[in-house]
């Protein structure tokens, strides 16, 4: 509704016209039907501006404005710039200058450590290294810091699992077939695992402070995907070679070729869990 003062310009002349009409109606004879009709039409035309003023006028539709957060706008405008990268390559092995079979590369571990530290993702279920035919399977196992490893015995003889490595020194005892024990690894490092009964049994647990790691396939190919784009360092580890490392600085997908010469012994010199040399026993004949 409009305020009263908004009608003042129309009310006064219109009322005057109405009063004039009433006077004319009284002057005429009541029997003059046609005059009454004319007067009614005339009065309706005089009052119409007042009735029209009282109706609400339609408002124009408001324009719709799309509001985006800075992150959404940046995502829409800058999708061309990737936030992850892939590091892939080929690992070749040799010993004394002679190339080795590519299958040997499966005992290597490839891992990337970004300059901006990222906490490893720890799985809820433990990893597994089993004893089979007096061998640890797998021989090499990379895990994130905080993970556990279970060591089940699948042989019909007794086995022991121990390590004297500074970052993880433990002795899981002697146990038989279908039994097993676990150990929780809390510090990064290369953990050498042995059996106190069999000198030739050796395994390596690489406890890593990065979630970006893997092992080459039987052809020596490797690929680390989903790595945050940015600087860092790529490592290739093998038990019989020196650690290979290379700086990654451009944050783009990178293809590398790695050549390692294996010069260390497959079974490293070591003592039993009491610090004494191993003695040959009947268990070694299995």
Cα 268 to chain center, whole Å?
39
Q: What is the mean pLDDT of residues 13-26?
A: 48
Mean pLDDT score of the chain, rounded to an integer?
80
Q: What HEC string does 49-86 produce? A: HHHHHCCCCCCCCCCCCCCCCHHHHHHHHCCCCCCEEE
59 found inside a domain: no
Residue 71: the pLDDT is 32
Do 45 and 96 belong to one domain?
no
Percent of the chain with pLDDT over 90: 61
* Burial status of residue 178 (CB atoms within 10 A of its CB: 0-12, 13-18, 19 or more): exposed
203 found inside a domain: yes
Do 48 and 122 belong to one domain?
no
Residue 253's contacts (CB-CB under 8 Å, 6 or more residues apart) are 85, 86, 87, 88
In the chain, the number of structural domains is 2
Q: What is the mean pLDDT of residues 170-196?
A: 96
The predicted-structure confidence for 206-244, as pLDDT tens digits, reads as follows 999 999 999 999 999 999 999 999 999 999 999 999 999
Do 49 and 90 belong to one domain?
no
Cα 198 to chain center, whole Å?
42
* CB-based contact 226:192 (threshold 8 Å): no
Enter the tokens of residue 21: 């009409």
């Amino acid at each position: 509704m409009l305020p009263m003062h908004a009608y003042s310009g129309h009310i006064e002349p219109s009322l005057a016209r109405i009063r004039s009409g009433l006077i004319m109606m009284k002057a005429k004879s009541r029997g003059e039907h046609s005059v009454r009709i004319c007067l009614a039409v005339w009065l309706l035309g005089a009052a119409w501006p007042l009735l029209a003023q009282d109706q609400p006028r339609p408002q124009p539709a408001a324009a719709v404005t799309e509001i985006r957060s800075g992150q959404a706008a940046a995502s829409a405008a800058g999708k061309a710039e990737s936030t992850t990268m892939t590091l892939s390559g080929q690992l070749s092995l040799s010993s004394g200058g002679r190339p080795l079979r590519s299958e040997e590369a499966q005992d290597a571990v490839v891992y990337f450590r970004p300059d901006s530290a990222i906490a490893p993702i720890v799985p809820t279920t433990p990893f597994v290294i089993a004893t089979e035919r007096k061998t640890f399977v797998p021989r090499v196992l990379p895990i994130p810091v905080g993970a556990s490893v279970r060591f089940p015995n699948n042989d019909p003889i007794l086995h022991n699992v121990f390590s004297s490595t500074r970052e993880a020194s433990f002795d899981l005892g002697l146990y038989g077939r279908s039994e097993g024990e676990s150990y929780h690894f809390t510090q990064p490092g290369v953990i050498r695992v042995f059996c106190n009964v069999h000198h030739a049994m050796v395994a390596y647990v690489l406890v890593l402070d990065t979630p970006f790691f893997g092992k080459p396939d039987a052809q020596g190919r490797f690929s680390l995907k989903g790595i945050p784009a940015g600087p860092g360092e790529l490592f290739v580890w093998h038990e019989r070679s020196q650690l290979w490392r290379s700086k990654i600085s451009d944050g783009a997908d990178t293809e590398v070729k790695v050549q390692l010469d294996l010069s260390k012994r497959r079974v490293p010199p070591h003592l039993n869990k009491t610090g004494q040399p191993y003695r040959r026993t009947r268990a070694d004949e299995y």
